[in-house]
């Protein structure tokens, strides 16, 4: 995780010379500038980067699994990796199951693993959907062949679909960093920086000689992005008062890639929004929050003096603190509206309704379920989610109000339903050029309704105070 986090910061710093845009609270909000995205000529791409046969990324994925399996078995001496023909036969006879790994493994590490499979295909010339398929094959092969534990359906969903979401985000980040006209030290650092995000792509670039190819042709799509990096403190409190909480040093990052309302049609990830928060010093987990939302397809058109859009969006949510553990990969329908962009006060709103393909939410009762081992503290299953995002931009800053809701129907764990909501008002005030200060309050609520246990109802809150820089 530290690598990813370091790489994220690395990206934020080195990419400022690519698109000098700023976000929300500062002077040159990208929402007010023309679309300056770059989409390369397809014929040129096919000439310079011809598509590899499909079997190649599939074989690479299986090779990655074999190498990782050998490492787990012979170096780490992990019991789960001691496979045999008997264990493979058993896995096929047993069929899909679930596993009892902790939230970070299942909802974060598996999507990261899937992003590598995904990018082996993506960097071989395939689009989002085919690369998602290759990730699914890689994950399936791992689950059925590479572990003595029965194949876990939750892992397969999170590695394939969750992996495609993180994978495409990393692919587009690496597009912003790679510059094949650069040479020397700059080139080395760019290739390395892109490779930290995207090791699958780095591997393919190394074996095909692209890391050392020098050309002035622009071969990789780039869309404008805006972002902010903030540092401050948070207080994760039991209940709804501000006292008795756990105080942490916190770093947050937000990146908005692509111009959602400036287009009329969309391809997967021509727009996405990334949010991350990371805790230090206190008792909270290092990764507090990772969220990605992206468009898969949609249409946008004029509505009065503003713009309206509807489409299919994907969502990846990973929230982890001492009170709440939530992980979910979802897909669903969304609509949005942006008011006229020539006014001093601008409104942006998005409403999402999604199916949760696989999700997890912590519960007091999970340890009482006999077939789970102690590593898992959450109930798991499919469900639904909804999200409302509203944003008001003023000359002096911005106010946003987000509300997220998840319903997880327990498929594995304490049977019942988990309903979790998170209200998230936030204010940012511009203080100097690209610098801002901000306040954020997160109100969590959770209702657990169980078949065999008393229902639970909680409210908790978190306060955040920060200073940030937008780019």
Partner 1 sequence: MKKFYYIIVLIMIYSLSFAQTSKTESVVSIRGTAIKSIGEIKEIWETGSALYLSYENISTTNQFSYMFQVGYINFKENPNYNFEGNDAYFNIIPLQVGGRYYITLQTIRPFLLAMTGINVFSSKYPLKPATDPEKEDMYSGTFVKFNFQVGLGVAVKLFSNLQLEVLANYNSHVLDASTHYNVTGLEIGAGLNWTLGN
Question: Which residues of the chain form contacts with partner 1 (CB under 8 A)?
Answer: 54, 92-98, 130, 133, 136, 140, 151, 153, 371, 380, 411-412
Select 140 or 458, whichever has its Cβ closest to partner 1.
140
On whether the CB atoms of residues 457 and 447 are closer than 8 A, the answer is yes
SS3 271: coil
Instruction: Provide the CA 460 distance to its chain's centre, in angstroms.
Output: 24
Alpha-carbon gap, residue 407 to 402, rounded angstroms: 17
Select 308 or 411, whichever has its Cβ closest to partner 1.
411
Smallest separation (angstroms) from partner 1 to the CB of 267: 16
- DSSP, res 235: E
On whether the CB atoms of residues 145 and 193 are closer than 8 A, the answer is no
- Which two three-digit tokens encode residue 393? 């931009």
C-alpha closest to that of 174 among 242, 244, 116, 252: 116
Select 19 or 144, whichever has its Cβ closest to partner 1.
144
Select 371 or 432, whichever has its Cβ closest to partner 1.
371
Smallest separation (angstroms) from partner 1 to the CB of 17: 37
Residue carrying structure tokens 């949005």 = 336
Alpha-carbon gap, residue 188 to 14, rounded angstroms: 13
Smallest separation (angstroms) from partner 1 to the CB of 413: 9
Select 381 or 438, whichever has its Cβ closest to partner 1.
381
Smallest separation (angstroms) from partner 1 to the CB of 463: 38
Select 100 or 112, whichever has its Cβ closest to partner 1.
100
Select 58 or 229, whichever has its Cβ closest to partner 1.
58
Select 136 or 158, whichever has its Cβ closest to partner 1.
136
- DSSP, res 19: -
Smallest separation (angstroms) from partner 1 to the CB of 292: 23
Smallest separation (angstroms) from partner 1 to the CB of 466: 41
How far the first Cα of the chain sits from its last, in Å, is: 24
Smallest separation (angstroms) from partner 1 to the CB of 286: 29
- Which two three-digit tokens encode residue 342? 């020539």
Select 45 or 229, whichever has its Cβ closest to partner 1.
45
- Which two three-digit tokens encode residue 373? 């081992």
Smallest separation (angstroms) from partner 1 to the CB of 48: 20
Q: Give the burial class of 373: count Cβ atoms within 10 A of its Cβ; 0-12 exposed, 13-18 middle, 19 or more buried.
A: exposed
**Alpha helices, DSSP H, located in 361-438:** none
On whether the CB atoms of residues 170 and 123 are closer than 8 A, the answer is no
Kindly state the helix (H) or strand (E) to which residue 456 belongs, with its residue range.
strand 456-470
Smallest separation (angstroms) from partner 1 to the CB of 229: 40
Alpha-carbon gap, residue 461 to 457, rounded angstroms: 14
- DSSP, res 379: E
C-alpha closest to that of 5 among 186, 252, 315, 322: 252
- Which two three-digit tokens encode residue 283? 């008792």
Sequence-ordered list of residues with C-beta below 8 angstroms from that of 374, at least 6 positions apart, any chain: 367
Alpha-carbon gap, residue 409 to 247, rounded angstroms: 32
Select 162 or 288, whichever has its Cβ closest to partner 1.
162
Smallest separation (angstroms) from partner 1 to the CB of 330: 16
């Amino acid at each position: 995780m530290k690598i990813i986090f370091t790489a994220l910061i690395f990206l934020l710093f080195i990419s400022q010379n690519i698109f000098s845009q700023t976000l929300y609270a500062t002077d040159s909000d990208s929402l007010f500038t023309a679309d300056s995205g770059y989409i390369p000529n397809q014929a040129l791409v096919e000439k310079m980067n011809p598509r590899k046969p499909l079997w190649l990324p599939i074989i690479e994925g299986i090779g990655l699994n074999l190498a990782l399996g050998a490492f787990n078995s012979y170096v780490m001496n992990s019991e789960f990796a001691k496979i045999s023909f008997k264990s493979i036969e058993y896995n096929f006879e047993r069929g899909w199951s679930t596993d009892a790994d902790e939230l970070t493994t299942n909802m974060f590490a598996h999507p990261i693993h899937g992003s590598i499979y995904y990018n082996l295909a993506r960097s071989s010339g395939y689009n989002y959907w085919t690369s998602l398929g290759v990730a699914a094959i890689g994950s399936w092969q791992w689950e059925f062949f590479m572990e003595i534990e029965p194949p876990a359906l939750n892992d397969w969903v999170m590695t394939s679909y969750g992996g495609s979401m993180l994978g495409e985000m990393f692919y587009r980040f690496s597009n912003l960093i790679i510059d094949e006209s650069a040479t020397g030290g700059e080139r080395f650092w760019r290739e390395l920086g892109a490779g930290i995000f995207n090791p699958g792509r780095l591997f393919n670039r190394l074996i095909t000689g692209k890391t050392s190819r020098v050309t002035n042709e622009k071969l990789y799509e780039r869309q404008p992005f805006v972002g902010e990096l903030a540092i401050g403190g948070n207080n994760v409190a039991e209940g709804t008062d501000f006292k008795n909480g756990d105080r942490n040093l916190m770093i947050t990052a937000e990146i908005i890639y692509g111009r959602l309302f400036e287009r009329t049609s969309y391809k997967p990830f021509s727009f996405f929004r990334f949010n991350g928060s990371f805790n230090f010093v206190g008792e909270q987990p290092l990764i507090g929050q990772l969220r990605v939302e992206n468009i898969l397809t949609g249409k946008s058109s004029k509505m009065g003096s503003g713009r309206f859009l509807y489409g299919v969006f994907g969502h990846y949510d990973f929230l982890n603190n001492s009170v709440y553990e939530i992980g979910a990969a979802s897909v669903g329908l969304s609509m949005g509206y942006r008011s006229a962009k020539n006014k001093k006060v601008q409104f942006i709103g998005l409403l999402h309704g999604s199916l949760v393909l696989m999700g997890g939410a912590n519960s007091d009762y999970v340890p009482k379920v006999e077939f789970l081992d102690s590593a898992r503290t959450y109930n798991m299953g499919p469900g639904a989610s909804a999200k409302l995002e509203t944003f008001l931009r003023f000359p002096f800053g911005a106010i946003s109000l987000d509300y997220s809701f998840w319903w997880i129907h327990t498929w594995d764990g304490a049977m019942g339903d988990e309903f979790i909501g998170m209200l998230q008002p936030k204010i940012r005030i511009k203080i100097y050029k690209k610098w801002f200060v901000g306040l954020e309050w997160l109100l969590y609520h959770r209702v657990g309704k169980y078949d065999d246990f008393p229902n639970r109802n909680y409210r908790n809150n978190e306060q955040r105070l920060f200073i940030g820089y937008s780019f």
